[in-house]
Structure 1
Amino acid sequence: MSLSDAQVAAALEAQRLLANVGLTTPTNPDDPNFLEVTRVISQTLPAASASAAVRGSLYRPPPGRPFTAEELRLGLDCINRQTHVNTFVEHPLGSIVEYPETGAGPGLAIAHRFSVDPSNFSPPKESFQYSLGDSHGENPYVHCGTLLMGRNGTPASCVLEKFSCSSCKGLKYCSARNYASPPSLFQLDALAEAKKEVFFKTLRFYCTLAEKGCAFDLRTDGEDISSAELTDDPDPDSDSDESESETHTKIMNMVVSLSTHHILSLDPYRHRCEHRKQTDKAHLILRTLDEFDITYLGALLENNTQVIDEREELARQFGYAYWHRTSGKLARGVLQRSKGNCTTTFNIYTPYDLFDCPYVVVTCRNPHSHSLPPSVKTPPPLLEVFRSLLIELEWKLADATPRKLMIDSGFMGSLRRALGWNKPFDPPLAALHPSFGNLDHVRRYIDELRHVLFPSATGFEGAELLAAQHRNLPAEEQYVRCAEETHTIEDGKTFQLVICMLRSMSALLVRSKKISLDTAFKRLNGKWQEFEMETWELSRMKSVIGTRAFTTSQSAQAHLILFTRIFEIAYGDTGIPCRFRHIHGEGFEIWITDAHKGQALGAGMFCQRLCAELGEVYCPMEPTRLLRALDPYDHLRRFLRLCTTHNKRNIDELRPYTTQKVRNAMLSLSSSQVHPDINAAFQIIENGGRKAKAWLKDKRVGSQFALPALYQPMSLIPLEIWKSGPSTTNGNEQAHRNINRDGVNLTMLGGIMRGMQFDARAMGTLELHSVQDIYSRDQTATHFRRLQRSSNHHGKVQNSSGSHR
């Protein structure tokens, strides 16, 4: 006969209890009942590898047993002369009891004796879900009858803590709980259910407006109102709003006082705060008011009691809108704290010497006057399991969130092992304990541990500490080379800078001929940008990051400081100074950027600084000019190129404002060949409209380096070197894309550590190829394969863009 689930569970519990006391019974493995028990065990019980705390959380305490006549005769129920208990229960070592049984009636008490580990003591009361907030003091050096005895057979000396249950005092209830309640089984059809939803949707919208009004107030807590109806107007506020309202029939033409601001009616679909204007668009604008019951909303705003009564009475007849009704009008209830009247008391006896008496006794007297509180408190043993899992994350904890934990394969693998989880899907955090189902609860534990492990926080201060720690590492392992906040740039602003590079990266950088520069803005959160200098390894046909930096400014002065510090560090690592071909006859031939003005001008200023002490050294490209007399733009003409992909993308963005002829003229300026009629191209662009004219002015005046960096005949870079270098910063873009797969919007510390892992892997790949001639792909990179792949990609992009036009 097949066993029921209840029978299987009972057999399972019996088997566990017998095994705990060393009693086992051999079972015929062919018995069908045994097979079913085995199946249920494998599906419902954690594996033997589950942690002790998890096994302890699965413990289900037996009910308290009354004392036998012999035990009563021996006085085992006596705690002392005045205190007796009626029942007793023993809890094994490692057991977690969240809801200890209390006395079955007034004046009755039960004694719980917990076996504890004296070397890793966790008070059993810390696992109780009941709030023990009302302490009645403690008594030192007391005894607990015969329940706590030392190894020599004498009563153990204990400290007695007295508490009363205050769980009900932490409860809050609505002030309207005593109002008439609706019928419990009131059934609504689909249409009535929809009307109910619109009614409550309108009412809660009104309550939000009544409480917050226009929530734009710097003194508020910044609470976000999650509503699709409350949005910022992306368009300039305006006169156009007023003119547009004239084309609609106004529903509510009034000014309503809400909070400290007013809401103005514009039209049936849009209302805005009276303080909203073109120069201050952060104030509230309300859209899609037609989604509400406009009649009821208008009545609420105008305090039209007749319409309010009609709508709310109709709602009451359909079985809703009973709550919070005071004098005929629905009103918001107020949460009030319960006074509490639970009479349950807890007396906790803890021996001073747990090694002599490894037990704790908890007596619970009187039943609770309230229901069981939810499992919102995490028992300390399970919390330690969770913290140990977080500690295994190491530096990843800097950016850990509850969601990131659940998608982190390493964390989930450790959680599986801790739980003994054998199901095909990953366990939720609540599988460890129900309290972890509250993600804000989890976030608080993460933050607490993060503050402990990262005492300098995870921002710039954390980067400074990391830089100090890396200075004590072996030379080849140092990555965070500087974290500086001492630079002051224009307008007295402070410039922060973090530079990250391994010594192997320094060697690649200073030996490079052609490098590309790029800045990404979504890697770190807040004000930080990520800057990369990428080199091209011709022998391996591979682009490699030469340095990675995080900055807070994109100005030319900030880039001058950045380049200076990078090459100072590289010189310290390699002994090789920064050298440019047009200055020193060797070194960097081409730098390619994406037309950022501050970046380009900073590079020119850096070259100007390199030439400051050269003396009477003339430029080899213009023999009549001294190198130290060249200005930043003169230097840029000798080594800077602009990314053609960025240039074309910027031109394509002018498509709505220019003709194809004008855009073709713009594109013709990006060339290594002499233009057949460059003045005619300039004229076409000049006459191509306001946007085209501004584009040309920027290239000629605003960014004086731009045309020489696009059009080789205006540049002083030799033609063969121009052609041999990359024409785009696609390598940098791909590098940013690759590392962004590891995470974006990171903290400073998380961004540094993920960058270190990425760069260390890249350097390891190069070393493996150099030492053992092992490539990172089956097919080696060659000019042919790179061009073939580029052509295929270009064709796909063209087909895709053509299909969207």
Structure 2
Amino acid sequence: MKICPFVDGSKIGTHTAASREGLAQRLKDIQEQQNQSPFRDVFEKTFIYFTALQRQGCASPPHEPTIYIGDEAAARENRNAHQVREQRGHSGKETCNGRLLFRYTASGRAFIQCEHYNRNLNIDHFIDFRPGNGLLNSTYLEALFLGDKNLIEEFEEDAAIIHGVGPRVQCSSIANYSTIKVNCSFEHRSASGILENPEMVICPCPVKFRIYEPLPDYREECPWVLVVCPGEHSHPIPIPSKTPPSIRAEIFQLLDSLESDLSDLTPRRFLRHPSVKIFLKKRLPRLLNPMLLDLHPSLGNRDHLRGYIKLVQDKKFPAGTGWEGIINLKKQQDETIPQDERYIRYIAEIPALGQLASTDDPTDDVEDSPTPFRIIICMSKNNSIRLSKAHYVQSDIGFKRIAGYQEFELGGLDPTTRISNISTYCRIYLNRQTAEAHRLIFHKIDEIVEIDTGHRLKWRHIHSKGPTSAEAVGIYHIAVDQHGGQAKGFGLYLKDIAASVPRMAELHEPQRLLQDLDEYEHLRRILRLCRVHFLRNIQQCGVSNDVRQKMRSLLCMEHPNWDTTIREIEGEGGKAAKDWVADKVRSKFAFSGICWAKSFIPREIWQIGDETSNIIESLHSDVNREGLSCTLLGGIIKGQHFDTLKEKTLENLISTGVRPSYHRGHISESVTRSLKRKSEATHKILEKQDQDIVHQNKKIKRALEGVTATHEELERFVQGSSNHLVINRAEKKREKAMASYKKAVEMSTEKIGTGSGKVGLLLPPLPDRPHSGNSTM
């Protein structure tokens, strides 16, 4: 074993037999030797704070030079050499080597600062006011920083003799020989008075193990091994920190079996993983709630488990779980999997894509980042075929699943059945949301569809022979949220597609050529804004309910007074309403995405098309259950598992008729559920409003009773000819009660028109208050 040089050799325990009970007793004895007291805790807290500062120093990047000479330079060199040995070959971060100084503010508050700190020039250097908050022994701390040997000795001798704590007490640090720890965990005061963190030394043990194994020819008759260990061990019972090889092999086998969960595995996730629980139930059937540490105590160390997990991860993913890992996974896929079964279809890193983005368009989400644009497109052949047959599509982008990347999805109802089985057509991971990024996305999806089906995607207003819904082909309608970069990128893609077909008259404006349409005019013929996103945006706008109602009225088939309503919103809603209208106008596609009359989408297609993006939102929510904040590799593997499950579930439905749930999947069920949810939501809101009315009625009653009581009190004092001081006090009391009453009336007035109508609203019959059907008093 290894021991600290400051350990009292005469107090090192010995043993002739090892047992769990003996080890527990040894640890208990060490704990009992430490006399717990408030003084001990404060002293230890102060000393540890000082040693941590000496070890850490100022963490600011090095800039100003610091000169050390003589003994100070030698001491610093020794400390640096000691830290290098502690790092065991790992290079540390280069930081400021300025001295840490103990100072006082003008008001007498103690603090620590780097000598290079200047609140006007160098505020990034170390400064800490913790010593002045009274939670540390500032006198002892100041002595340590100033090197006051006499005061330090006085404090540390008292602490060692009376309380058994401090750098002058004998150490009890003993560690297993196999530990990677080089130095003792505690600072000790040497004979020369210097604080040092000594290296652990090997404690020799004369005892030897002799192992007797039967020869191979006799192992069937004698399948045992004899271990003989004579003599007394010159050290305490070791801590069982090393996992036996047989158990370690089981852990590695268990980790290998986790597959899609391995890339994002942490010790905590491993401990609660269902596969681990099942394994432990089988392995330790007599325990009620078996844990890994029941298999062996060493597995209770999370860092120990983390080391095993990393070994398996490095073996499975030699290039890591980030960008390089995905490149390696794509390479392995292309080398081992047939073309028809590949999932990762395109991966690229494009340094110059950001330069192509339009920086003069406020709807474009342009990011000034040195990181190159990265994109990964995942799409199976079957989903590619489904997309080529789809007529109604939804798109959305998520941010939660993969750290540092957005997840763009195209999805919709299954085009072959048009029932409540939804599909993710493709899943794209990217680190930009610019228009050029989305333009590239749609072009690459188009190319993949052509590889899988032999033809490119068709779009109604480009490839149809006529403007009516009966003549429509391809994708009729796409529902999106109001993201400017996404919409513009899609419009630019459609503009490119229109430029690639023969010149022809535009379907809805025959006097114009299809090729003359700009990106937003293309959107006017196919794109629709999600109703939920639009209404949510209105609810968050800081305007009155009347103005909100006028905003909501714009979401329609045809509006009788569109321009007048827009003017009324801007005039009555103030700056918030003007900004809201300006945002919709600036987007160049919002109004045509909420009102059919403003678009060129055929009426029947608008009526049957998706008015919300709930389908794609539910797909995002569903895949998020596979895990959040994943690594790039882990997120893609989990996404593939999810998409494969969805795909096979749909194929099973088509080939066998077995549905994923007991619901029939008919549109009547979804309509019924929608009406039920809306009714329940309405009742919940009205019930809450009724409760608010009841609560407000109680408040206005109390306020009225207060006015009445103070008025009667004032009348009694006046009639009783009380002195002026008493009358003045009663008048102020009545004025205060009247102010409370008026405030209660104002709050009740705000609730006019709310509630279910079953609960009356108490209000006084004021002549300037509008009449309300649910007000009484």
Q: Which runs of no fewer than 5 residues in structure 1 stay unpaired?
A: 1-166, 222-249, 265-272
Give the superposition deviation at 1:260. 6.3
Does 2:388 align with 1:510?
A: yes
Q: Select which of 393, 406, 421 maps to 1:529.
A: 406
Aligned to 2:509, the other structure's residue is in SS state coil
Instruction: Say yes or no: does 1:491 pair with 2:355.
Output: yes
Residue pair 1:214, 1:261 contacting (<8 A) in 2 also? no
SS state of the match for residue 336, structure 1? coil
| Matching residue within 590, 599, 605 for 2:477 | 590
SS in structure 2 at match of 1:765: helix
Q: How big is the shift at 1:521?
A: 1.0
SS of 2:326's partner is helix
Q: What value does the CA root-mean-square deviation take over the aligned residues?
A: 4.5
Q: d(CA) in 2 for partners of 1:712 and 1:202?
A: 72
Q: One-letter code of the match for 1:717?
A: I
Deviation of 1:528 after TM superposition, in Å, equals 1.6
Structure 2 counterpart of 1:681, one-letter code:
I
From 716, 720, 744, the equivalent of 2:628 is: 744
Aligned to 1:547: 426
Conservation of the 8 A alpha-carbon contact between 1:198 and 1:293:
no
- Alignment identity in percent? 29
When residues 736 and 594 of structure 1 are mapped into structure 2, their CA distance, relative to the original with a 3 A threshold, is same
Distance apart, 1:507 and its partner CA:
1.5
SS in 2 for 1:499: strand
Q: Which amino acid aligns with 1:338?
A: M
Q: Please state if 1:645 is matched with 2:535.
A: no
Please give the per-residue CA displacement for 1:38-65, whole angstroms capped at 9, x wherever unaligned.
Answer: xxxxxxxxxxxxxxxxxxxxxxxxxxxx
Q: Which residue of 2 aligns with 1:112?
A: none
Shift of 1:513: 0.9
Query: Equivalent residues in 2 for 1:136-215 (5 A)?
Result: 167-168=1-2, 171-172=3-4
User: Hey, what does 2:258 align to over in structure 1?
Assistant: 393
Q: Does 1:716 align with 2:600?
A: yes
**Kindly tell me: are residues 611 and 199 of structure 1, through their superposed partners in 2, closer, same or farther at Cα, counting changes over 3 Å?**
same
Contact 1:477 1:502 in 2 (8 A): yes
1:323 pairs, out of 144, 166, 191, with: 166
Q: Structure 2: how far apart are the matches of 1:501 and 1:209?
A: 54
Show the counterpart of 1:672: 557
Q: Which residue of 1 aligns with 2:695?
A: none
- 2:201 matched to 1:339? yes
Q: How does the TM-score come out when normalised to structure 1?
A: 0.62
Kindly tell me: are residues 355 and 794 of structure 1, through their superposed partners in 2, closer, same or farther at Cα, counting changes over 3 Å? same
Q: Counterpart amino acid of 2:206? A: T
Aligned to 1:436: 299
Partner of 2:262, secondary structure, is: helix
Counterparts in 2 of 1:530-679, with a 5 A limit?
Answer: 530-537=407-414, 539-585=418-464, 586-655=473-542, 658-679=543-564
Task: Give the structure with the larger helix fraction.
Answer: 2
User: SS at 2:585's partner residue?
Assistant: helix
C-alpha change, 1:187 and 1:196, in structure 2 (3 Å) is: closer
Q: Which letter does structure 1 place at the counterpart of 2:245?
A: P
1:519 maps to 397
| Pair 1:209–1:762, CA change in 2 (3 A) | same
Larger RCO (CA under 8 A, 6+ residues apart): 1
How many equivalent residue pairs? 579
2 CA distance for matches of 1:312 and 1:641? 77
1:114-140 Cα offsets, whole Å, 9 max, x none, are xxxxxxxxxxxxxxxxxxxxxxxxxxx
Name which of 713, 718, 730 aligns with 2:614. Answer: 730
Using a 3 Å threshold, how does the CA distance of structure 1 residues 405 and 263 change in structure 2: closer, same or farther? Answer: farther
Distance apart, 1:510 and its partner CA: 1.1
Give yes or no for contact 1:769–1:775 (8 Å, CA) kept in 2: yes
Partners of 2:136 and 2:636 in 1: CA distance: 57
Contact 1:430 1:437 in 2 (8 A): yes
Equivalent residues of 1:470, 1:481 under 8 A apart = no
2:647 to 742, 748, 763: 763
CA distance change for structure 1 residues 693 and 463 in 2, over 3 Å: closer, same or farther? same
Distance in 1 between residues matched to 2:55 and 2:572, nearest whole Å: 56
CA contact (8 A) 2:45 2:136 kept: no
Distance 1:535 1:208, change over 3 A: same
- Residues 422/509 of structure 1: CA separation in 2 closer, same or farther (3 Å cut): farther
Distance 1:207 1:673, change over 3 A: farther
Find the counterpart in structure 1 of residue 739 from structure 2: none
| Partner SS, residue 736 of structure 1 | helix
Report the 3-state secondary structure (helix = DSSP H, G, I; strand = E; otherwise coil) of the residue aligned with 1:545: strand
In the TM superposition, what are the counterparts of 1:57-206 in structure 2 within 5 Å? 167-168=1-2, 171-172=3-4
Report what 2:246 is aligned to.
381
1:481–1:500 contact (8 Å) kept in structure 2:
yes
Name which of structure 1's ranges 775-784 and 435-444 shifts more when overlaid on structure 2: 775-784
Q: In structure 2, what is the Cα distance between the partners aligned to 1:604 and 1:176?
A: 80
In the TM superposition, residue 512 of structure 1 has moved relative to its aligned partner by: 0.8
Cα separation, partners in 2 of 1:625 and 1:183, compared to 1, 3 Å? closer
Q: Distance in 2 between matches of 1:285 and 1:356?
A: 73
Instruction: Name the structure 2 match of 1:67.
Output: none
1:258 to 107, 113, 121: 113
Match of 2:413, SS state, is strand
Is this contact kept in 1: 2:532–2:612, CA < 8 A? Answer: yes
Cα distance change of structure 1 residues 684 and 383 upon mapping to structure 2, 3 Å threshold: same
The verdict on how the C-alpha distance between 1:756 and 1:218 changes in structure 2, with shifts beyond 3 A counting, is farther
Partner of 2:100: none
In the alignment, the residues of structure 2 paired with residue 776 and residue 177 of structure 1 have an alpha-carbon distance, to the nearest angstrom, of 71
Distance 1:357 1:349, change over 3 A: farther
- Is contact 1:174-1:334 (8 Å) kept? no
Secondary structure of 1:376's counterpart equals: coil
Letter in 2 for 1:522: K
The structure 1 residue matched to 2:667, chosen from 760, 779, 783, is 783
Are the counterparts in 1 of residues 375 and 428 from structure 2 also a CA contact under 8 Å?
yes
Cα distance per residue 1:90-143 (max 9 Å; x no partner): xxxxxxxxxxxxxxxxxxxxxxxxxxxxxxxxxxxxxxxxxxxxxxxxxxxxxx
CA distance in 2, matches of 1:211, 1:462: 36
The verdict on how the C-alpha distance between 1:214 and 1:579 changes in structure 2, with shifts beyond 3 A counting, is: farther
Give the match for residue 463 of structure 1: 326
Distance 1:696 1:442 in 2: 57
**TM-score normalised according to structure 2 size:** 0.64
Deviations 1:626-664 (A, max 9, x none): 222211111111111111212222333334xx4334433
Per-residue deviation, 1:697: 2.2
The aligned amino acid for 1:411 is V
Letter in 2 for 1:532: E
Give the secondary structure class of the aligned counterpart of 1:674: coil
How far the C-alpha of 1:769 sits from its partner, in A, is: 2.1
Q: Deviations over 1:354-393 (max 9, x none)?
A: 8689899988787433213212222222211111111122
Q: Deviations over 1:301-356 (max 9, x none)?
A: 79899xx99x9799969975842369xxx9996432233341437588999x9868
**CA-to-partner distance for each residue in 1:263-298, whole Å, 9 max, x for gaps?**
98xxxxxxxx9966xxx9x998989x99x6358559
For 2:667 and 2:254, locate their aligned partners in 1 and report how far apart those are by CA, in whole Å: 47
- The separation in 2 between residues aligned to 1:260 and 1:800, in whole angstroms, is 63
1:676 CA drift (Å): 2.2
User: What is the letter of the counterpart of residue 737 of structure 1?
Assistant: S
Taking a change above 3 Å as real, the CA distance of residues 664 and 217 of structure 1, as seen in their structure-2 partners, is farther
